[in-house]
A and B are shown apart, each in its own frame.
Chain A
Amino acid sequence: MSDSDSLQEMIWEAQDLPKGLEKMAALEEAIRIADSIKDIEAGYHARIELIVSATDNGFKEKAMVAFAWCLSTFDKNPDQYDCFDILWYFKWILDGSTEFTSISRERIIGLQDEMEQRLNHFEFSLRPIHYLRMDTFNAMGDFEEAERWFKEWKKAKRDSIADCRACEKNSEVYFFAAQKKDAKALKLASLIIDGKMSCSSVPQTTYGGIVRPLLRLGKIEEATKRHEECFRMLSGKRDLIGPVSEHLLLLAHTKNKTKGIRLYEKTLAMVHDSLNDDDRFRFYAACWPFLEMLANNTKRSTRKLRLPSSLPCYREDAKYDPMELSHWFYNQANDLAQRFNQRNGNQYYSEILQESHELALAKD
């Protein structure tokens, strides 16, 4: 068997693995081999698989590196590869770009422009780029721009490169929720959830988008019911840290200590060394009030908690003062918020942070 054959076999085997870190590791291994024997085509296809697997596992930075490689390779030889793949994953990468504070607003706009050029070049509808501009500006708290692209998006024709209807509807939920148009957001969300719209990422993400609107409107009972429906879809999923964090806020609000601690420990183990600033911000912003709730509702001054040993606040005896920990997480979240604010040129992340605390600890 030649090197290329056994490499191909490796890639197939990796493809067959269930979603998860093992699959990602197997693909990275295959890529290393492909590159070292200079099998560009195999390297390309394994990287396309890696983009999916890394995204599934919440390693968007790895997806970005793999994508950048594929894009350059594609440009050298555009007839050899499918332009649809490239454009499709470009959407994912652009969508994730706002989650890293080190990627500047100018670069994000640069990526938007590049995507538009490529859609034009291959004669696709501009619907996805209007939609992504809406999404990325919304994520950066620039609601004026988001509003503008929202209108463009709604007017644009739908073709094969557009996101599925469930995804688009889901983005609308986030669009309205970010602007606190809660009734509208919830109505759209119920179209997705009760209308059984689904795809590989919906309705899981939608369940994250409705927590703040529900808390703001004081609909705790409904929030709890929704929480029960979705908890198993979210818990332990590395690609859903945002929605998971929102549900930790809810657990803080309902003072559900047992379930909350479990979720806190499990998620922290996955998030603490993540390069994704947004994931860390969202989760730490929820840990802050959650641990404060824990401190306020316990007689003991310390509590046994499982923290990853690489965290600076880690203690060998595993006994923590929840209030002290809560402050630690606040400081982390606040640092991240400042970095996001600086990048975005506004105070949006600080507002999210403050609101997390208010909503989680508000009295019904």
Chain B
Amino acid sequence: MLSMESSLTIAVVREPPLSPSQEYNMGSEHHFQVDLRGMIDLLSDHLYSGPQVYIRELLQNSVDAVTARKKIEPDYSASIRLEVIETDGSSPPTLVMTDDGIGLTEEEVHQFLSTIGKSTKRGIDRSDFIGQFGIGLLSAFVVCEQVVVITRSVKPDSPSIEWKARNDGTYTVRILEHQGEPGTQVYLRCKPGCHEFFEPEFIVNTAKHFGAHLPIPITISVGEDRTLINDTPPWRYEFASEQMQLERFLQYGEDVFGVRFLDAIPLSAPSGGVEGIAFVMPHSSSTATRRKHRVYLKNMLLSEDADNLLPDWAFFVKCVVNAKDLRPTAAREGFYEDQYLDATRDELGGCIRQYLVRLANEHRDRLNRIIDLHHLPIKGLAVEDDEFYEMFVNWLPFETSLGTMTLEEYRQNNEVVRYVSSRDQFRQVSSVAAAQDICLINGGYVYDDELLQKLPLVFPNQQIEKIDVSELTQEFTDITLEEREEVFDLIQVGNLVLQPYQCSVDVRKYEPANLPTLYTINEAGTFMRSIDQTKDMANDLWSGVLDSISESQVSIANAQLCLNYHNPLVRRLAGLKDRELLRRALEMLYVQALLLGHYPLKAAEMKLLSSGLLGLIEQAVDKQQEEESDE
């Protein structure tokens, strides 16, 4: 019987060994000493999401061992067995995990079980294996003080080996006299304070959680009870009808997430060997939502919050998928960004797209329900995909000055698609535009601007027009030449008075008649206002910086005060002979329009407000006194 004691080593030495002369020159070589207990603490704090992952790591090793054996003996029907040995309390409970996989030789035991960071699966074609980081077995020390492995390799003439490791970093290896069947048994004895991780219910639930979809039979026995935990995922079934498939998928979604989803989309992406289901969320969500998907890697649960699997626009679905050929990141939060993931993402996006197109042709009611809740992601897809755009854009809802409507409804009544590009612009004019029956789209929401700009590309005869709100009033009914004569002075004085405020004056006819003025300003104009307002208080240096920034904006800034010819007050002002009174009245109308539009006043406008108000009062008082003295 051979037995020896060694310590676990860490696979960090990558340099070739030094020759004796080098050693002499450079001093003697030493290995780092790593405290295993400290390292396990580190691992359990940082790498593992919790002690329960020890079951996943062990399952993973067993599955890989079985897979390796099947490569040599394709017909071998292997299985994995977990046995929980409960005790009366005098000694700690033990978990035994047995597989009839490939097993290890003595050399392999030293090499792989005892060198942390070295994996049997490194350097070979690992596409069939789940594990690859060489740290799996370590996780057992999170719940055990001692791990015993009994293993026998399928390689000819391999004896049974016992490897006993302790959490202080020492281990022993013996060759056993009794020769068992090829395979591996791992004995884990619960350490104090970890009893909850050895309770049968916990073990069954955890093994199911991680391994239920594995294709290798896994049984768990506790005393006389035996449970087979395997459960074939629904995407691997053939269904007699589409309806049955949908029902089964939705039921699965409810079981897994506790949510009754709106719809379920079958997924398949050959590039990454991905199969699964995308569930349509039953409530709407914003573009910034990072959906967390449940992903299996080679049928073992990898992560419940993978977030990089789908195209950005697909934030209205939550997935369960199994991937065969994607690389997990070490932290297991998702997959590594490479060309396969890229191609997979495109293919999965394609599945969702195709499904929507099919609904459009066969189940419009179901599609409408999805559009109602999820027009945002569907708009996102339409921006990226021309063909999809052509088919869907007409059904998408837009906010307009005459209420929300689909683009189809809009286009039926309007030859030219007209829109403003920001919500601020829309706010300025929407109600007045509505009163003139002008239908304007608010392009200030995510995707809308892009969608509208794309219209003439996809429908060559469709005209679009982006409206500058400061010019919108030009579409209101113009006044006649005679009327223009009547308001000539009004316009001239107005332009003069408001020139220091970069605002021009026009007169048009519009509804409602009780509205005397409409102030409109374009985006550059709004920005200029905020600069002027800030300059009022800034020091020289900053004032200079602000001037520099505004340079390019001055020429395109545009603001206008449009007086309403239908309004009685405006008509009376037009007849006013007193220029001074007219000036003050126009200044006040300007300030009032700013206040009504919630525009903060610049210092000069504030002054206008106070002096104008006082001036008007004075003028009224003077007039009263004149009349009184006349009497």
Residue of chain A at shortest CB distance from B341: A228
In chain A, positions 208-252 with a C-beta closer than 8 Å to chain B are 225, 228-232, 236
How far apart are A277's CB and chain B's nearest CB, in angstroms?
9
Are A107 and B544 interface neighbours, CB within 8 A?
A: yes
What CA separation (Å) do A309 and B353 show in the bound complex?
Answer: 29
Residue of chain B at shortest CB distance from A36: B600
How far apart are B583's CB and chain A's nearest CB, in angstroms?
24
* Given A29-B424, A107-B541, A20 contacting B599 (CB threshold 8 A): no
Contacts of B457 in A (CB 8 A): 304, 306, 318
Are A20 and B424 interface neighbours, CB within 8 A?
A: no
* Given A68-B545, A72-B542, A309-B466, A20 contacting B456 (CB threshold 8 A): no
Are A73 and B453 interface neighbours, CB within 8 A?
A: no
The interface residues of chain A, by DSSP majority, are classed as: helix
What CA separation (Å) do A306 and B454 show in the bound complex?
Answer: 7
Q: Mark A332-344, 1 if CB is under 8 A from B, else 0.
A: 0000000000000
Q: Mark A121-136, 1 if CB is under 8 A from B, else 0.
A: 0000000000000000
The reply on A197 being an interface residue by CB < 8 A is no
The reply on A13 being an interface residue by CB < 8 A is no
Tell me which of A58-66, A150-158, A281-289 binds B: A58-66
How far apart are B52's CB and chain A's nearest CB, in angstroms?
25
Contacts of B304 in A (CB 8 A): none
Cβ 8 A contact of A36, one of B460, B538, B539, B595: B595
The interface residues of chain B, by DSSP majority, are classed as: helix
In chain B, positions 566-614 with a C-beta closer than 8 Å to chain A are 595, 598-601
Contacts of B205 in A (CB 8 A): none
Are A103 and B308 interface neighbours, CB within 8 A?
A: no
Contacts of B600 in A (CB 8 A): 32, 35-36
What CA separation (Å) do A236 and B380 show in the bound complex?
Answer: 12
Q: How many B residues touch the partner, as a band? A: 35 or more
The reply on A86 being an interface residue by CB < 8 A is no
How far apart are A104's CB and chain B's nearest CB, in angstroms?
7
What CA separation (Å) do A36 and B594 show in the bound complex?
Answer: 10
In chain B, positions 510-559 with a C-beta closer than 8 Å to chain A are 527, 530-531, 533-534, 537-539, 541-542, 544-546, 548-549, 551-553
Nearest 10 CB-CB pairs, A to B? A18-B288, A35-B600, A102-B548, A72-B537, A69-B534, A103-B548, A68-B542, A102-B551, A36-B600, A229-B337
For the complex with contacts A103-B545, A309-B464, 10 further pairs of A-B residues with Cβ separation under 8 Å are A22-B423, A25-B444, A29-B424, A36-B600, A64-B546, A65-B530, A65-B531, A68-B538, A102-B551, A228-B342
B contacts, CB < 8 Å to A: 286-289, 308, 312, 337-339, 342, 384, 422-424, 444-446, 450, 453-454, 456-457, 460, 464, 466, 527, 530-531, 533-534, 537-539, 541-542, 544-546, 548-549, 551-553, 595, 598-601
A contacts, CB < 8 Å to B: 17-22, 25, 28-29, 32-33, 35-36, 61-62, 64-65, 68-69, 71-73, 97, 100, 102-104, 107, 110-111, 114, 225, 228-232, 236, 262, 269, 275, 304, 306, 308-310, 316-318
Show 17 residue pairs from A and B whose CB-CB distance is below 8 angstroms, ordered by the A residue: A18-B287, A29-B424, A32-B599, A32-B600, A36-B598, A62-B530, A65-B530, A68-B538, A69-B533, A72-B534, A72-B539, A225-B338, A228-B339, A231-B342, A309-B453, A316-B456, A318-B456
